[in-house]
A and B are shown apart, each in its own frame.
Chain A
Amino acid sequence: MSILVDQDTRLIVQGITGREGTFHTLQCVRYGTRVVGGVTPGKGGSVHEGIPVFNSMEQACRETGGNASVIFVPPAVAADAVMEAVDAGVELVVCITEGIPTLDMIQVRQFMAGKRSRLIGPNCPGIISPGKCKVGIMPGAIHREGAVGVISRSGTLTYEAVQQLSSRGIGQSTCIGIGGDPIIGTSFVDALRLFKDDPATEAIVLIGEIGGTAEEAAARYVQSRLSKPVVGFIAGRTAPPGRRMGHAGAIISGGQGTAEEKIRLMEECGLQVARSPADIGETTARILQT
């Protein structure tokens, strides 16, 4: 088992004819993902890399039975693309696009309230259930099927952690990149809740960073609701306050969001915290043995 994506995922790519969209669609197909269609307004009726292209999400879903979408459109139109996918009724929307204005995402969150779709991202690498389905831009080859769930706010740091796991023979049930923006669709707590209910997930690795209080909320959730072991890591212990470290969400402001505070609370709530980014794999191996 796994969460959110698997063999039954029927993926539609929004922005399929663009450079990024084309490249990553083919990577997903090669991994085994069932890509059933793509959307590029104005190019409906054509076939791109063997995949039918539609003018709208509504049409694409109706004709292909698509139940998930991944978004590769530019930031100025990405919020609209998310809402179009939600309106079409897909269960899962994965938004890779980086640089969406915050007020646009606030509108999206409002639009989604009470609707059935789940959003992952934006500004994220996507989601993969190793051996089953890849919806995103992560390198498929570093993953391995198994029982550890991975949740992370970043891209390449997640790959680093996954590789540390795979190289020790520790496979993953599903890996989710939730995104580095201040307003995102799926939080750490949302993802923890899904892993909690997934019988195939035995342990969880949670990779956070400075800024906001999402890691604190996750730690409290682990303490009160989760019996599965959780390994934590927080990037940015050396980051100065008031400076945005790449991700729009990664900023220590008003005394909030420091790495030390997050690490302290994680440990207090029973997470095994890897102090060094090189120790994520080892720490996970240790908790799986006990």
Chain B
Amino acid sequence: MSHEDLYVDHDNAQWAFGTGFTDPLHGVDQRVPDGIDAGDLAACCLALGDDALVSAQRLAEWCTRAPELEEELALANIGLDLLGQARLLYARTGRADGTGRGEDAYAYFRDPDGFRNLRLAELPGGDFAFTITRLLVLSVWRLAVFEELTSAPDPVLAAIAAKSVKELSYHCHYAAVWTVRLGDGTPESRDRLRTALSDVAPWLGEPLTDQTAAGLGAESAVVADRTLRHLADVVVRAGFDPSEVLPLGPASAPAIPGSGRDGDRTEHLAPLLTELQSIARAHPQAQW
């Protein structure tokens, strides 16, 4: 490839980026089918998109700080997958809510009280044990949701779910392998994992009782049951008693009051968004 190709405009087929299109659902029939409540669809895509964006942002914070190069690559990979899911889900939101807004309108030009992510996703990064534990919980739950959504009545959401299931299966595997390593590793890693499990547990009630995707085929009870069984399996392999470190079900979860899905936020989301949105908001007329 000669360097002239850098500034020759006519052959865009070779570019993965830079072809000018910014709509990740480009070429897809985006009409919302009859019989689907567009408001429910928009709310579901927005909430799942916010979970993905906020999680990707926390994973990006690990960049150049991971304990080993292989983990640098893996955490970036997972962050990129989630960023990709967020983009698709925001694009679907913009169509379903009737505003026609693009992905960046949702990511950059909403305030914290407009976000609908699970609060667990916005908690600060913590140590590697916390990152792995949170990743395990959120990936296992999200996998269960998206497995159900592969048969959602909206074909676009079903397609996004099918793509996401493949990615999330890897995220779950990665988090599970590390959970087992930390649980079985050294006394220090085991202590840190135990602390992380107890830090995450109070936030579990929120995903386990989440009704966001219920109207689109992801029954909350089915998702909660599958999530808890999957988590219990990993926790046992890490050498812990699930009844000690995980809530047994939605009813017994010592839920922290409020819900991210209703717009309740911790104090940690605002600074995360201030950073994420800083350049975009400083140059509102700019093009990137």
- Asked whether A and B interact, the reply is no
